[in-house]
A and B are shown apart, each in its own frame.
Chain A
Amino acid sequence: MVAALVRLRLLVLRNSLKRSVGQLVAVIIGALYGLFVLGLIVVGLFALNLAPVDLVRTIVVLAGSVLTLGWAILPLFFSVEQTLDAPHLAVYPIPLNKLLTGLLISGVVAVPGAITMIASVFTFGSWLRMPGIAVLALLCGIAGATLCVMLSRAVTSAAAGLASGRRFREAAGILIFIPLVLLGPIIAATASSLRQSADVLPSLAEAMSWTPLGAIWAIPSQVALGDPLGAVLRALIGAATIAVVFVVWRWGLARSLVTPVHAAAKVRAQGKLGLFARLPATPAGAIAARCLIYWFRDPRYLRQLVIVPAMPVLFWFYSSLTHSAALFLVSGPLVGFLLGVTLIADVSFDSTAFVLHMSKAVPGRADRWGRASAVLTFGLPAVIAVTLITVGITHQWAALPGLLGLAIGLLFGGLAVCSVTSAVLVYPAPAPGDNPFKTRPGANTALLGSTFISWGVLALVTAPEIVLLILALATGNVLFGWIGLVVGVVLAPITLAIGVRVGGGILDRRGPQLLVQLQKDA
């Protein structure tokens, strides 16, 4: 039974790769990268043979704690695995304990589990000078990695009940995304405070070694330091942690087998057309209304929207670290760029719902224009506001016209370029209702080529604004900035009109092929 579950997991992995060569190539590239990182970790662990025991202890305990914490938190944001989740297996008469074992082992043989297990086991490599400790480290590595996998399972199954409502799930996904975006500054702030007192790390490691997260990782070094009693105590903490996690997981799984996830729906009366009552009653206007509703209601779009306020905050932080305003000033153009190129995913996000546009014979140009104008309605004010605010805070008013010109040029240019690329290519995007952070295997690599081409074309299209902004900043001559603004404001709509026209023409011709691809990806 256990073996069957593990085989099922591997089979699903293999078959999902078989579906398309592109996905296979992407997964191979991803695997090579993972192996490279893993190799570095293993080499690093062996290199620690040359380091004093205290340093080894600090590194292993802290890294182990972060790893364990990561396994506990990440499953909440990324759907780790759908194949072997409880609803799929609930119909089979599998004894609960066998199910638990099977799920545990299949978790270890999946890619993240395997990498964790290998890295953990190789902690023995740091103890070649003391063979007894090395064996102990090996065992602790296995226990630590097992705890990681169990922890992620326990968290997922315990959270499944809490987060079963669609609205709750979607809201939580986005709210949690904001600290993730700002993770850089948070880590940097922590790191800079740590740098000021480097001796904090060993004491932090000492503290972590008494917590459920770090206890297991501290056992070998505790013995090596000549403190067997401390090692035993930490082993007890570790064993207790594993036992508690196991009980929680068992309880969560047993419950999720008999209470499948379902969402309750509110029923409201008709009469509320929302944006459809306000925007022009043309195909393009209707598409713009629909896109706007999606931008503010669909987590996959909201995730991209969160970037608008997060990006200036992020850059403000970094420039305050480096005491240079340059990075902060780039926020406006960058927000313009990011909002412009988001359109590349638009048709892919529609998934097979795009068939409605096809069956109603929507002209390609109306489709393109509707999608682009939806982004413009909130993107243009956002870009102007961000540029004004960043310039205002830094008092670099001389840079304002050039920056504004570039920001507008990038927004319109991005929309124009993506109006064409999204008519040529769709890629496996998270399906409607999926976790917005889920990446489908191969999606990134498939998107990479077209993204780079789009960005290249975008750089060409906005070259005048870029050159003029650089001239303005280098010479300090405000005139160049003003020319940049005029060029941006004049060129931007022309670029977009061309993009909509070309993209619309391509969509008219290639619609059926696009639909076939969307059906394949669905």
Chain B
Amino acid sequence: MTDAVNPPTSPSGYAPPTPDAAAALSIRGLYKSFGQKRAVDGISLDVPAGSFYGLVGPNGAGKTTTLSMATGLLRPDAGMVTVHGIDVWQHPLAAKAQIGVLADNARLFDRLTGEQLVVYAGLLSGMDRPTAVSRTKDLLQLLDLQDAAGTLVVDYSAGMTKKIALACAMVHAPRLLVLDEPFESVDPVSAANIRDILGGFVRGGGTVIVSSHVMDLVQRMCDHVAVITNGHVVASGTVDEVRGGADLEDRFVELVGGRRVQEGPEWLQHS
């Protein structure tokens, strides 16, 4: 499936078509400006239920802003977002119960131990204590963090911190996982383990959206992909559709532009 994207109109007077209630996440005509800068300039996107969806784009393309608005953390200037048919901004409580979020660059309550933090996240979602405790145990085991369960999160390494944040995102058994840069500063072994876990989550009927810079990872891991640049979606669909026989990275560079073929200034040449 290839979406018609880029409505060229401005927020005013543009009535977005109704979102697709069958999709895990459906975005229509999303806009957000920060001062003069249009961070998200009319994004529409459908993430099919049960897909492993990659969101790729250069730095500052609007990935994080889009995901923040899609998960009810940042109020859009205009546009609609539904999660499994629930309007995120009309019914935030019901929608957020369906979503697990791993926010990029957000702090954690790092004076708690890893175990306490995940239990805390569970209790915040309204589950009872035995459930929260047993799910925490499962997640810590799944993420290979049992040995560090009693350590304060502030003393964790970067990779461990990502993993514990992932556990917090998954503890309330969401149907949709939205992960912003989940593989940043994660070592290759942990990354592979996380990939397996996410793969299992998708096979179990869940939907995963990851944003990433690493094309190779997206190509191997995801079945769908959307390319965002300058607040627009420039391509979306299954990975095979988007890359059109080429390598995803080459196709990405071709879509986004900005690649310069040159060898650098003369003073940088040492041979």
**A-side interface residues toward B, CB under 8 Å?**
166, 263, 265-274, 276-277, 281-283, 285-287, 289-290, 293-294, 297-298, 350-353, 355-363, 431-433, 512-513, 515-516, 522
Q: Are B108 and A356 in contact (CB under 8 A)?
A: yes
* Size range of the chain B interface in the assembly: 35 or more
* Minimum C-beta distance from B243 to chain A (A): 32
By Cβ-Cβ distance, the 5 closest A-B pairs, closest first, are A270-B149, A265-B155, A268-B150, A286-B123, A361-B96
- Tell me the bound Cα distance from A76 to B119 in angstroms: 37
- Tell me the bound Cα distance from A162 to B262 in angstroms: 49
Q: Are B151 and A266 in contact (CB under 8 A)?
A: yes
Q: Are A273 and B115 in contact (CB under 8 A)?
A: yes
> Which of A272, A294, A357, A360 contacts B113 (CB under 8 A)?
A272
Which chain A positions have C-beta within 8 A of B93? 361, 363
Which chain A positions have C-beta within 8 A of B73? 355, 358-359, 512, 515
Which chain B positions have C-beta within 8 A of A359? 71-73, 96, 99-101, 103, 169
* Minimum C-beta distance from A274 to chain B (A): 6
10 examples of A-B residue contacts, CB within 8 angstroms: A166-B154, A265-B151, A266-B155, A267-B148, A269-B147, A270-B150, A290-B112, A357-B124, A431-B107, A515-B73
Cβ of B238 under 8 Å from chain A: no
Which chain B positions have C-beta within 8 A of A166? 154-155
Q: Which of B155-190 contact A (CB under 8 A)?
A: 155-156, 168-169, 172
- Tell me the bound Cα distance from A362 to B97 in angstroms: 10
- Tell me the bound Cα distance from A356 to B111 in angstroms: 14
Name which of B5-13, B49-57, B132-140 contacts chain A: B132-140
Q: Are A276 and B119 in contact (CB under 8 A)?
A: yes
Which chain B positions have C-beta within 8 A of A515? 73-74
Which chain A positions have C-beta within 8 A of B219? none
* Minimum C-beta distance from A117 to chain B (A): 38
Cβ of B121 under 8 Å from chain A: yes
Further pairs besides A352-B105, A359-B73, A359-B169: 12, Cβ < 8 Å: A268-B151, A270-B140, A271-B115, A281-B129, A282-B123, A283-B125, A290-B116, A293-B116, A355-B103, A356-B120, A360-B96, A361-B93
- Tell me the bound Cα distance from A515 to B107 in angstroms: 12
Cβ of B75 under 8 Å from chain A: yes
Known contacts being A293-B111, A355-B103, A433-B154, is A283 close to B124, with CB within 8 Å? yes
Q: Are B116 and A276 in contact (CB under 8 A)?
A: yes
- Tell me the bound Cα distance from A359 to B166 in angstroms: 13
- Tell me the bound Cα distance from A277 to B116 in angstroms: 9
